[in-house]
Amino acid sequence: MMRSLSITPAKCTGCLQCEMACSYENEGVFNPAKSRIKVFVFEHEGRNVPYTCTQCADAWCKNACPTEAIQINAATGAKVINEGLCVGCKVCTIACPFGTVNYNHATGKVIKCDLCGGDPACAKACPTQAITYIDADWTGYDKMRGWAARTDTQSAAQV
């Protein structure tokens, strides 16, 4: 069974525990700037929205990588960076339409969410369950794909 992160923005309080847990898990420091998940703050709406790699089925970052450094973890389905193959060219950062692949200046390589090997620190740390790690069939991925495939002449009811 494939699992994926499910994010419910309405439950997010903006505590940044997800960012802290991610940075500690992946970089060994409590530093939100080094996190692979970010909480966007929409001040005018009074909302916080956690945001990270969606592990796209047809990952543009993976397809764009000239050294094939982005590979699929067979156990989790996550697109992971093979640091031995990454040359830090940043082509994947440009290819990602969501801006969730980032360059790490300290290593000269790119970083992105890898689902922490199947035990995401962000989901474990979230006190309100705004971020959960659930069966991929329950994340609404198919519904999102349906909306994306819709043409301007189709109504939402047809999806």
pLDDT of residue 149: 67
User: Could you tell me the pTM of the whole model?
Assistant: 0.82
- Report the Cα 92 to chain-centroid distance in Å: 14
pLDDT exceeds cutoff 90 at 26: yes
13/27 same-domain check:
yes
Helix (H) / strand (E) element for 135: namely strand 131-135
Q: Tokens in use for 98?
A: 């969501």
Q: Tokens in use for 112?
A: 């992105």
- Going by the DSSP 8-state scheme, the letter that residue 117 receives in this structure is G
- What does residue 122 show for φ and ψ, rounded to 5 degrees? -65, -40
81/37 same-domain check:
no
- What does residue 105 show for φ and ψ, rounded to 5 degrees? -65, -30
Domain count, the chain: 2
pLDDT in tens, 115-138: 999 999 999 999 999 999 998 765
61/101 same-domain check:
yes
Give the amino acid at 88: G
DSSP-H helix ranges across the chain: 17-27, 60-64, 91-95, 121-125, 141-149
Residue 150 lies in a domain: no
pLDDT of residue 144: 54
Residue 117 lies in a domain: no
What are the beta bridge partners of residue 142?
Answer: none
Q: Tokens in use for 127?
A: 């006190």
Q: Which residue has 């389905």 as its token pair?
A: 77
92/71 same-domain check:
yes
Q: Which residue has 């009811």 as its token pair?
A: 157
pLDDT exceeds cutoff 60 at 4: yes
Residue 8 domain boundaries: 1-52+122-141
- What does residue 91 show for φ and ψ, rounded to 5 degrees? -60, -40
Q: Which residue has 């929205």 as its token pair?
A: 49
53-65 mean pLDDT: 95
